[in-house]
Structure 1
Amino acid sequence: MTADRSSSWDPADLAIIRELSRDGRISVAELGRRVSLSRPAVAERIRRLEDSGVIRGYGVHLDLARLGLGLRAQVSLRPRHRSIRGAKALREQLLAIGHVLSCVHVTGHNCYELSIAVRDAEHLEEVIERLTELGDTTTGVVLSEPVHPRDVDIAGWVSRDGG
């Protein structure tokens, strides 16, 4: 999608995006009721949003604590070796270590910001020890999540800011 296309999303498209962001399993009929459109109209708009790449997929939101991974941490990683600076090599190594929920390449002193989930403090220490084989780390334990991705109204930003 190009930047100029984002300004042409109408209020109904944005309402659909808002509702699907909150609940990706909502039925087309219920979605239609919430946005005041017919089922066929909603289905067509969803198809268009998918085809344009705005909606890239649907997923499940897991309760990590119920899965035994109740401790989350944010880890800043600054690789020591040039050989692991490549995204593909780093990706493979992080996936091999496990417990990495996400990794983003950022500007600044540290090159990568990781979000990890572990059982407890002892498990956190084990994962950090493995990460330090890749580079220098700085770790912060997640205490709470005041803003969750499902709370964010991206459709509201687009309508207010024009994209």
Structure 2
Amino acid sequence: MNSHVGAEDDNGGPWIRPTIEHESSRLTPPDGRLDRDLVAPNSFGRHGDVLHAGNVPESGTPLYRGVARLLPDGTVNPAYRQAVSGVAAPRGAADLSAEDHITQVRARHSDSTSWTRDRTTAAVFTNGDGVILEWRTGLPPDGALWRFKPTWDIDGDLSQVLVQGTLTDARAVRHLA
């Protein structure tokens, strides 16, 4: 784990933000340091801090994915562990229809992740303490192990977009409400 010097901390000294470099979607270091860093809400960046710069395409429609830091039981969300490094990995491996994924019929088995064209909608999914991943529409980069999955768009809906597979190198921005 490397560190990057950011803005000044509350005492006027440099504020150091850890950056996690990954080789796969399993991002928890063997020493458990990441889990310790993620327990306290302000220990892993301030609101608006870019935790992972990513390699976001310059063109296309912006897409956002909100990921909460904690699960309802108070434990660190495994998806958050990945999101701080710009990774959006699905929970399952089933190739579900957009309808089954979106209506949560079998979403926990889905091989896709949900994204939105509306940043405010993504912020809701952080539960006020999480990360917003940013990407753009367009063709996946060469060698990508993901693709956009067809879905329908309903007026007043969440402007949802599905990404099938694991998307890596998205921009990760800390969100605190």
* Same-fold call, TM cutoff 0.5: no
Report the structure, 1 or 2, having the larger strand content. 2
Bigger-Rg structure (1/2): 1
